Each structure stands twice: as structure tokens, then as C-alpha cells.
Amino acid sequence: MVDDAMQEQQLVDLKKEVCLMASIANDGFLQAWKAFEESDLNLAKSVIVRDEKLNVLAEKIFKMSLSLIALQAPVATDLRTIGSYLKIVTDLERIGDLAVEIAKVVVRLEAKPFSIPLFQIPEMAKKVKEIMDVSIKTLHSNDTRSPRLLDEMDDQIDRHFSQCFDYLEVSLEKNTSYIKEGLQLIKLIQSLERIGDHATNIGEWTLYIATGSIADLNT
């Protein structure tokens, strides 16, 4: 016989682990961006090393989820929650990978001063920080209103990406000596843009947990 109290506690424990993973992924991104802003090579290298924490936690969450499904026979609503958490974990893993990519930009450029003015890149990163903050708070609270803010926030990030990409393209055309740095900055803005997409995905899955309806916020 299924123990409802046990199943409920296991779902609570599962959410705690997912929220912990979200906090670690966000911290990785913040530290990677700080390393970029401050040209801190040691901090960048530490971000790369610490990414293994996310992989270990993702494996733990996967095993907890399988155990819940196999031993507790969850009802449809709880299965929806478990499946959504697994999707969220995938997005958090990718955010961790993208934070590592940002840190690798710092390493590849050897933390040297930039020759190319950064244009709107810092503003783009600020918007990514904001969307991550809203996404993680939504995950904690199961708020059904906040995820709908993510659509416009992601659109703002996409606009910054387009403008920054065009700016870097023109800069490289004007001065070919900027090629190495310019290509790394393109990798940087691509990583920022993708983090915004994954943060939006987390909002979509959180909304699905609460409502049972999948909303495409990433349009």
C-alpha cells in the first residue's frame, strides 16, 4: 500500500534538491560573469572545476525521481511534477555548462584588458541576472504569475544579443587584429542568450507543475 505521507515528503525532498541545484547553477553563472568583469583568471578556473557539483546533484535527483516512480506509484499530478523537475534539471545542467563556457572565455583571453569596447554586453548580462532571479524565485514559490514575465525579459535579452552580435561583426570587419577577442566575445553573448532561454524553460515547467498547461514563453 502506498504511504501518502511518505510520498508527499519525498516530493518535498525532491523539490529541495532541485532548488539547491538551481542555486548552485545561478551561483556558477554569477561567478563566471564576475570573473569576466574583473578579469579574474583564478575565479574563472574555479567555476570550471565546480561544475562537477551540478552533475553529481543531477544524478542524485534522477535516482530520487526513479525511486519515487517505482516504489510510490504516484498519481498523475505527482508524475507531472516529477517529470517537470527532471526537465528543469536538464535546463540547470545546461546553465552550468554555459557558465563554464563564459569562464573559458576568460581563460582563453588570459584575463587581459579588452581592446574592443564591450558595448551593451554588460547590460545584456544584467538582464540575464534578472531573468535567472525571477526563474529561481518562481521555482521556489510555484507562483503562476511570475513565469509570464519571463517572455518579455527573454525578448529583451534576444534584442541585446542581436545588437551586440552586429556590433562585434562590424568591429571585426574594421580591425582584423580583434579577431581572437571578437570571436570569444561572440561565444560569450551566445552563452548569455542561451542562459536566458533555459531560465525561460524553467519558468515554463514550473507553470506546468502548477496548472497542467504548457505555455510557450520562449517565443
Side chain identity at residue 152, one-letter code: E
Nearest to 211 by CA among 154, 151, 150, 142: 142
CATH number at residue 39: 1.20.58.220
pLDDT value of residue 111: 81
Whether 216 is in a domain gets the answer: no
pLDDT at 89: 97
pLDDT band at 81 (very low <50, low <70, confident <90, very high): very high
Q: What mean pLDDT, rounded, does the chain reach?
A: 91
Contacts (Cβ under 8 Å, ≥6 apart) of 78: 7, 11, 68
Distance CA 21, CA 161 (A): 27
10 and 64 Cβ atoms separated by less than 8 Å: yes
- pLDDT over threshold 50, residue 20: yes
- For residue 161, the enclosing domain spans 4-211
Q: Per-residue pLDDT tens for 43-54?
A: 999 999 988 889
What is d(CA 48, CA 198) in angstroms, rounded to the nearest whole number? 19
Residue 176 covered by a domain? yes
Place 212 in a pLDDT band, splitting at 50, 70 and 90. confident
Q: Give the list of residues 6+ apart from residue 119 with CB closer than 8 angstroms, or none.
A: 163, 164, 167, 168
Question: How confident is the model at residue 5, as a pLDDT?
Answer: 66
Whether the predicted pLDDT of 98 surpasses 90: yes
How many angstroms separate the CA atoms of 16 and 20, rounded?
A: 6
Confidence of residue 167 (pLDDT cuts 50, 70, 90): very high
pLDDT of residue 1: 43
**CA–CA distance, 167 with 116 (Å, rounded to integer):** 10
57 occurs within a structural domain: yes
Domain count, the chain: 1
Average pLDDT of the residues in 2-24: 86
Angstrom distance (rounded) from CA 198 to CA 209: 17
Identify the three-state secondary structure at position 113: coil
Q: Would residue 218 count as lying in a domain?
A: no
Query: Is residue 58 assigned to a domain?
Result: yes
Residue type present at position 195: I
DSSP three-state, residue 4: helix
What per-residue confidence (pLDDT) applies to 210?
A: 85
Is the pTM above the cut of 0.95? Answer: no
Q: What is the pLDDT of residue 106?
A: 96
- Please provide the size of the chain in residues: 219
For residue 214, pLDDT beyond 80: no
pLDDT digits 0-9 by tens, 130-163:
999 999 999 998 877 777 789 899 999 999 999 9
Grade residue 77 by pLDDT with cuts at 50, 70 and 90.
confident
Query: Among 41-50, 82-91, 137-146, 180-189, which stretch is predicted with the lowest mean pLDDT?
Result: 137-146
With respect to residue 219, please indicate whether it lies within any of the assigned structural domains. no
User: Which pLDDT score, from 0 to 100, does residue 116 have?
Assistant: 92
Give the mean pLDDT of 159-169: 97
Q: For residue 197, is it within any domain?
A: yes
Residue 217 lies in a domain: no
State how far the Cα of 199 lies from the Cα of 217, in Å rounded to an integer: 10
C-alpha grid cell, residue 141: 514559490
